[in-house]
């Protein structure tokens, strides 16, 4: 009575319910067949969806209440980004959870320039020379450190 949509991967999923054994189930998401009277009802089982099939795996809604004006502004902004409102909201939620909303690339670049100035001017002010090799090494270190530092700075600012 259970559908096995991904067994064998040889073709489209087929229902194993005896009456419908030869019927192809288009887009079956791991369903069960249930007979009610003379009718067979298919019930989706979202946990049966493969994790790597991301678009089919999006079956759990999350809601938020917005005013009419807020909804219009969100819709308008999502369209300006070339996305449907729901897709944009989903992306915004996931970015926030990953901490990407706080990691502004301009902050990382500003911190990189500040680190460069401090680390180059300090030796020069003390009368030391900076070799080209030391300067290149400094640039490499700053390139690696600036994004992590910007993330930490944004995270600490978010906690305040």
What is the per-residue pLDDT across 43-69, written as a single tens digit (0 to 9) for each? 555 555 555 555 667 778 888 899 999
Q: Does 84 have pLDDT greater than 70? A: yes
| Residue whose C-alpha is closest to residue 6's, from 31, 33, 30, 23 | 30
Q: Where are the alpha helices (DSSP H) in 21-131?
A: 54-57, 68-80, 85-98, 105-125
pTM score = 0.39
Two tokens, residue 17: 């319910």
Contact 12, 25 (CB under 8 A): yes
**Residue-range domain boundaries for the chain:** 1-59, 68-98, 102-159
* Residue 98: its H or E element: helix 85-98
Q: What is the CA radius of gyration of the chain?
A: 28
Once rounded to an integer, what is the mean pLDDT over residues 91-110? 78
Alpha carbons within 13 angstroms on the beta-carbon side of residue 87 total: 10
Contact 66, 76 (CB under 8 A): no
pLDDT band at 21 (very low <50, low <70, confident <90, very high): very low
Q: Please name every residue paired with 2 in a beta bridge, in sequence order, or none if there are none.
A: 32
Q: Please name every residue paired with 44 in a beta bridge, in sequence order, or none if there are none.
A: 31
Confidence at residue 132, expressed as pLDDT on a 0 to 100 scale: 92
């Amino acid at each position: 009575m259970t559908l096995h949509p991904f067994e064998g991967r040889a073709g489209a999923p087929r229902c194993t319910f005896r009456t419908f054994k030869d019927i192809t189930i288009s887009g079956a998401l791991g369903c069960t067949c249930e007979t009610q009277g003379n009718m067979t009802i298919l019930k989706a089982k979202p946990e049966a969806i493969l994790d790597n099939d991301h678009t089919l795996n999006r079956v759990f809604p999350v809601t938020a209440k917005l005013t009419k004006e807020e909804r219009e502004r969100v819709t308008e902004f999502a369209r300006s980004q070339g996305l449907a409102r729901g897709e944009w909201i989903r992306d915004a939620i996931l970015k926030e959870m990953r901490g990407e909303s706080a990691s502004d690339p301009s902050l990382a670049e500003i911190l990189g320039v500040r680190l460069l100035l401090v680390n180059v001017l300090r030796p020069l002010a003390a009368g030391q020379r900076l070799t080209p090799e030391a300067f290149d090494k400094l640039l490499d270190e700053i390139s690696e450190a600036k994004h992590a530092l910007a993330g930490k700075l944004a995270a600490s600012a978010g906690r305040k």
